[in-house]
Amino acid sequence: MSLIDVKNLQKIYETEGVPFAALRDISFAIDTGEFVAIMGPSGSGKSTLLHILGFLDRHTAGAYRFNGKTINESTDDEIAHLRNKKMGFVFQSFNLLARTSVLENVKLPLLYSDIVESEWNGRALQAIESVGLSHRVAHEPAQLSGGEKQRVAIARALVNDPEVIFADEPTGNLDSKSGGMIMETLQKLNEDDDHTILLITHETYTAEHAARIIFIKDGAIESDRHVTKRLKANHFIK
């Protein structure tokens, strides 16, 4: 059974009564432990797809099953619970709280979880250690580099032990060296810890760190291929 399974997925928006198909008959499956990049130019529909897969938006037509559960039939409350428990998110803009320590930033998702408060510090510290930032626990975002901020965001995405991590253009605000470190972190989480990762990017050299690339153009899948020779993070480091 696939972790993510979509069939004939569509998303239709209306602007002044005129329908626009942002996604058209998207079908694919992602298994647990895969590292998949969804790639495409601006306006291709890749971010719309991420929002639907990450329960941040609803699809218009088609079917979406997550871990065997048909999402079409779920209530908004059920979806919110699944999103917090099963998914972690990493965004281009980091989305960290200013004047708040690394530890407190990473603990944020636990406020809305079923995990008892006595475990929060331990879980957060473990997530911070997994991205190599134990020496920055008490620092605030303003004291961190861009790459360190993104690693904090990855630790925050990990703290609930999600089944899948969605990374939306995670290197977009970083220089090549910092971007390489972020891709190295994501690769380690996938290869060593078997985390399922879905990466959104418009950059070929970023996408090829994944093991599989789904290319979207004009709201439809143009290709779906496995990467025969994955790039390593030192490709970025100049």
SS3 assignment for 180-196: HHHHHHHHHHHHCCCCE
Q: Is residue 208 part of a domain?
A: yes
Q: Is residue 66 part of a domain?
A: no
pLDDT tens digits, one per residue of 192-217: 888 999 999 988 888 889 999 999 99
Reading phi first (left if > 0) and then psi (alpha if -120 to 50, else beta), residue 109 is in: alpha
Helix (H) or strand (E) holding 223: strand 220-226
pLDDT tens digits, one per residue of 39-68: 999 889 999 999 999 999 999 999 999 999
238: confidence class by pLDDT, cuts 50, 70, 90:
very low
Q: Is residue 63 part of a domain?
A: no
Q: Is residue 60 part of a domain?
A: no
Structural domain total, the chain: 1
- pLDDT over 90 for what percent of the chain? 67
Q: Is residue 84 part of a domain?
A: yes
Residue 198 maps to which CATH number? 3.40.50.300
Q: Is residue 56 part of a domain?
A: no
CA 124 distance to own-chain centroid = 18
pLDDT tens digits, one per residue of 91-140: 988 999 999 999 999 999 998 888 899 999 999 999 999 999 999 999 99
Tokens of 63: 């079917």
Range of the domain at 38: 34-50+76-226
pLDDT for residue 234: 55
Q: Is residue 115 part of a domain?
A: yes
pLDDT tens digits, one per residue of 155-187: 999 999 999 999 999 998 888 888 888 998 998
pLDDT for residue 228: 81
Q: Which residue has better confidence, 229 or 70?
A: 70
Q: Is residue 145 part of a domain?
A: yes
Tokens of 64: 């979406």
